[in-house]
Chain A
Amino acid sequence: MPVMRILIIEDDQEAAAYLIKALKEAGHVADHAGDGETGFAMASTTDYDVLVVDRLLPKRDGLSVIEGLKAEGNSMPILILSALGQVDDRVEGLRAGGDDYLPKPYSFSELLARVEALGRRKRPADADTTFKVGDLELDRLTHFASRAGQPIVLQPREFRLLEYLMKHAGQVVTRTMLLENVWDYHFDPQTNVIDVHISRLRAKIDKGFERPLLHTIRGAGYTIRDDAR
């Protein structure tokens, strides 16, 4: 994971300090702004890989900061934090120009996974038509997947699941991220449904191969990566 420069715009000092410390431990560089105006000024003058913006801020509302930055033509990816946590609130945030949305209270592993997923966006991964991890290949146009040249038969949803994992290859994706992006569900199913879907996918891509590609990251989520270098 490359080092990312992150700006946190958050008025809760304690939460911000905790975030900065944890992000540094994860190998990133984080700056902090305590209110909307300072945050806007810092984001306009410095090039960050990701902005983490709280919705409710003193001096200038989080959404207004985002709208202002987008109006300036700023394309930095933005993660919105909000204590409101309703679907309408999410829609509002994304419409204002946010790229992802995380309701409070959140776990740090969830936030880190989302920040890293957003940072990746600067690379032209979205435009790629084929993804490759080790000997696993996926063609987004023909919906064809293969490992070591052998075709893998996937259900449409399994294909989307694998596509999302491979798009974020090497990064941790959380269960919530999978729920939101693969199923478009924004609630929390109490049974570990995602784990079951992952284990099915794992059976299709890793079974019979010496080196597994799909890994479980305890307490965080999953990642697809080729360990052999």
Chain B
Amino acid sequence: MFLVVYIGHNTQRMMNEQLNETIEAEVKGLGEQYSQGGIRRLIDVVERRSRQPGASLYMVTDYSGDVIAGNVAKLKGTMPRDPEIPIQIVRYLRNGADAQPQEAAVRVFVLPGGFHILIGRDISEGKRFREVIQSASRITIAVVGVLAILSWLFVGRRVMKRIDAVSETGRLIMEGDLSRRLHVTGSGDEIDRLAENVNAMLERIELLMQGLKDVSDNIAHDLKTPLTRLRNRVEAALREEPSEEGYREALEATIDESDQLIRIFNALLKIARVEAGSPDGGLERIDACEIAAEVAEFYEPVAEDEGVTFTSEICETAPVEGSRELITQALSNLVDNALKYGFPPKAEGEEDGENEKSDLHIALSVACEGKEVVLTVADNGSGIPEADHDRVLRRFVRLEESRTAPGSGLGLSLVHAVARLHRGKLELANNAPGLAVRLILPKVG
């Protein structure tokens, strides 16, 4: 639209310049004729040129103002006589032919003897041209305007419809159908990208919800056992002959049982928090070697007391971005597991477990492998069958062999959650014999 106006304006300017140049050239040419052959030759030339088609305008008057040559029949108003004014606009009638007066740009100059010569160009054509341009601009503006309104209606409505679809899906999801996803058209535009991100988010939410559901199912199932045990014990104490000692014993056992229940709840809550991505104490730059050395120092006396060989091989430094609290607890869970479940499977009828542990060797190591920090707790105990490696990471899963040992089946689940929180991995491997658990964390710096 602006282009049209610009072009119109420029054309106008160019035409005006051209007009001026033409008139100047005529003036110059006639001036030459006059200087060569006097007024007579000038008049001849004017008469001849006047008859040519598309000729300029000419008018020659004598001192009294009578027209003596030219192709202008009549000027509206008096003939301009002032040669100082360069170009002026006059209205005129051509030799009888036109009834309507036309506009012309003219220039006047004076010759000796009172002759006035008027030279000009008709500009009504330029004016018409300007009118054509103007009406073209108006039509263009109108068409562009209509197109803009149409495209706004079309595109805008389409976008609105898609947004409506998004909110409709959102409503269905809120009503409880978490499996629904936003429609992705595949065009890769902004709304598509938004839909893809929202879908990814929904995916994550569904996963978390599923996890939550699993946990509640597990809690319902696995907490019933100790609760039933607790209840039975109290009931039994009430049924027995009343004795202070009996009551005291039962109450102490009840406290122990409920403490164990509280521990399970705490562990579950902690796993849930870690899985929801909230690190206890926040993430900071820490040295995995320092943490491992402390854990080793913490457990060494326990291992020694139980006759277990405990060795640690810890590198100089292994910087990771993480929670000191959680990595410490993860490592301590792994060492604890090795101490509790690392012993070789008991043979039938064998009573004394202590002696078996003397063969147990637990190795804690920290090493940097490329862009990873690998914390390994390995033992040479009975290990975990490969088929169960994934299963034991789940909550409350305890293998048959270890059911008799104390524990809740939550230790490895927490380690797994800690690994995931730190964008790391937890790998179980056969240590042949025994189990090697590798906690792999991304190295920083």
Contact = CB atoms under 8 A, between A and B. Distances in A.
B263 A191 contact: no
B298 interface: yes
Interface in B308-329: 325, 328-329
A189 B301 contact: no
Contacts of B280: 86-88, 186
Contact of A190 (B252, B298, B406): B406
A193 interface: yes
Interface centre among B252, B305, B340 (most CB of A within 10 A): B305
Given A86-B273, A87-B281, A193 B299 contact: yes
Interface string B318-357: 0000000100110010001001100000000000000000
A89 B297 CA distance: 28
Contacts of B332: 185, 187, 189
Interface residues of B, number: 30
B15 interface: no
B173 to A, nearest CB: 30
Interface in A142-176: 157
Contact of B302 (A157, A187, A193): A193
Contacts of A185: 298, 325, 328-329, 332
Contacts of B329: 185, 187
Interface in A184-212: 185-193, 196-197, 199-200
A105 interface: yes
A196 B302 contact: yes
B413 to A, nearest CB: 14
Nearest to A187: B329
A183 interface: yes
Contacts of B328: 185, 187
Nearest to A87: B280
Interface residues of A, number: 23
A88 B297 contact: no
B334 to A, nearest CB: 12
A191 B339 contact: yes
A183 B301 CA distance: 15
B31 interface: no
Given A107-B259, A191-B340, A183 B282 contact: no
Contacts of A183: 294, 298
Nearest to B339: A191
B40 to A, nearest CB: 114
Interface string A74-114: 00000000000111100100000000000001010000000
Interface centre among A85, A183, A196 (most CB of B within 10 A): A196
Nearest to A89: B280
Interface in B274-296: 278, 280-282, 294
Given A186-B280, A190-B411, A193-B301, 4 more contacts: A88-B282, A185-B328, A191-B299, A192-B302
Interface of B: 252, 255, 259, 262-263, 266, 269-270, 273, 278, 280-282, 294, 297-299, 301-302, 305, 325, 328-329, 332, 336, 339-340, 406-407, 411
The 4 closest A-B pairs by CB, nearest first: A87-B280, A187-B329, A87-B281, A196-B301
